[in-house]
Structure 1
Amino acid sequence: MIVRGIITHLHVTPLATKRGSTTLSAVRVIDDHSRAQHGGQPGSRPSPTRYEIQFVDSKLFQWSAAIQKAFSNGDEILAYAEDEIRVRTADDGAVTLIVHGIDLGHSSQSAAQRQD
């Protein structure tokens, strides 16, 4: 699946696993659905969708260093994630979709917009 939105929080934390220690990078993203939608009622907009995209450092990828170096809060991104989705509900009822990240990149849409 592809997740599009704006980064609201980056969090990096060490993990102890059966195979040794590694690092988890959690990228919180909000998709406020502000882009044009087809087939919706005029003037209506769905509620924002909250995602947490999780990247785990491995022998091939050191996501923790790369993500912290390349991204910051407020960046608009496209994230490639596995289709498996977990749901976490906060005490206030807010729902966050948790997905395992495959890759993370900048969205080119903002750069392509004309500055009239």
Structure 2
Amino acid sequence: MTAAAVVLMVSVAVPESARAAELLVLEQPGCAWCARFNNEIAPGYPHTEEGRRAPLRRVDVTESWPADLAAIAPERLTPTFILLSDDGREVARLRGYPGDNFFWPLLAEMLGKLGPVPAM
């Protein structure tokens, strides 16, 4: 079986609904609040329930807006956090980083808009 056939089989076997939600973080070089988020939250984020439910995806606002995010309104204020559902729709947006004490409760409120956590 060729590699192309394997890729085709895998893409057919994995439904679009298996795609995970994402937490976009819009950032730019020199952003002090982005750096603070990167020091306080980002290192541990993938190891949290929140990080497993909505993995972090970084978008540099000084570069071209990603084509797969065409339906999402760009933002110049950084950092901005945009929660996308598993089908790529915007669910919630948080402008600015409020510090680690306030970030987690605000993120929980955002994630609550996704609905109940799917059963495993």
Q: TM-score, normalised by structure 2?
A: 0.27
Report the structure, 1 or 2, having the larger helix content.
2
Report the structure, 1 or 2, having the larger strand content.
1
Q: TM-score, normalised by structure 1?
A: 0.28
